[in-house]
């Protein structure tokens, strides 16, 4: 689900809010093929985030999908 920019947040106790920081949303995929980092538009940015890819590869997991956002 993508966020929608609004003039002000909706009111009511059933709503929670998070601040939308401008940045790059990505997913780290760890599996039998190794570690890959993809943007929301499915561009492979593993080489742009070499340090992050290495750190993810050092995690003691068989597989994982980690979502995050890097501020601009």
Per residue in 23-69, pLDDT (tens digit) is 778 999 999 999 999 998 899 999 999 999 999 999 999 999 999 87
| pLDDT, position 8 | 85
User: By C-alpha distance, which of 33, 36, 25, 30 is closest to 65?
Assistant: 30
CA atoms within 13 A on the CB side of 15: 7
Q: How far is the C-alpha of 13 from the C-alpha of 44, rounded, in Å?
A: 39
**pLDDT at residue 37, as a whole number:** 96
């Amino acid at each position: 689900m993508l966020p929608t920019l609004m003039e002000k947040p909706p009111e009511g106790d059933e709503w929670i809010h998070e601040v939308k920081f401008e940045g790059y949303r990505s997913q780290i995929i760890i599996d039998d093929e190794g570690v890959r980092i993809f943007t929301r538009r499915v561009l492979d940015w593993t080489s742009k985030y070499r340090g992050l890819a290495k750190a993810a590869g050092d995690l003691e997991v068989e597989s994982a999908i980690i979502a995050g956002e890097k501020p601009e």
